Homo-oligomer: A and B are copies of this chain.
Amino acid sequence: MGVVVQNIGRAEQSVIDRLAACGVATVHEAQGRKGLLASYMRPIYPGARIAASAVTISAPPGDNWMLHVAIEQIRAGDILLLAPTSPCEDGYFGDLLATSAMARGCRGLVIDAGVRDVADLKTMNFPVWSKAISAQGTVKETLGSVNIPVVCAGALVNPGDVIVADDDGVCVVRQEEAADVAGKAEQRVAAEEEKRRRLAAGELGLDIYKMRERLAEKGLKYV
């Protein structure tokens, strides 16, 4: 505890933007169904879809001091990601911190804890994915760390990993795999287009995916 790593790598911005365009569900599939944060991480308002490089924060329960430290480490296009060292639902972050983070070019916040001033954050168009909404304030007494690997809502996140977040939840993509995953995700998007057209026309997945034979082999009985 008590370490701030100042130089972290980041994926290329163009790659990050391509991941944002694909969305969480597609990216998660494209990278082999790994890296999803727990489903209790929900957006504070619907409709946002972003991708950004993670500035990670490990913070004690009920202590948001490290958020101030982390904001200095933000580069335009980053996202803050906070994991408490033990479960906590306090409101670590509100409109003042969001104002500061936005001034540094921050795209949003992912926090395995609580957030407050959510009506203001929505007005500011600052997206947050959190475990809770809580007006409970925090103190500034104990050190944590910035830009170290953390486990956030059940997923390992390294500083500089790409976070993709939308109404389906939050997914982390390893910085070094981001370009490859973006390519695979775009292929999925393209492939789905054709399937969507056929399904909309009334064809069945049973036929498109040729499932009938395998279902019969497994013993499915129609009565």
- Residues of chain A whose beta carbon lies under 8 Å from any beta carbon of chain B: 1-6, 23-25, 28-29, 32-34, 36, 38-39, 42, 45-47, 49, 60-63, 65, 68-69, 71-72, 85-91, 94-97, 99-100, 102-104, 114, 116-119, 122, 132-137, 139-143, 149, 151, 154-156, 166-169, 171, 192, 195-196, 199-206, 209, 211, 215, 218-223
| Chain B neighbourhood of A42, CB < 8 A | 133
Asked if B119 contacts A167 (CB within 8 A), the reply is: yes
Across the A-B interface, the 10 shortest Cβ-Cβ residue pairs:
A61-B62, A141-B141, A100-B199, A39-B134, A68-B205, A25-B135, A135-B168, A119-B167, A61-B61, A86-B136
**Inter-subunit contact A171/B4 (CB<8 Å):** no
Residue of B nearest to A48 (CB): B119
Closest-by-CB residue of B relative to A68 is: B205
Contact B201–A103 (Cβ < 8 Å) = yes
B96 near A196 (CB under 8 angstroms)?
Answer: yes
Residues in chain B near residue A102, CB distance under 8 A: 200
CB pair B90–A86 under 8 Å, yes or no, is yes
Contact indicator A135/B24 (Cβ below 8 Å)? yes
6 contacts between A and B (CB under 8 A): A3-B223, A25-B94, A68-B204, A96-B195, A135-B171, A139-B142
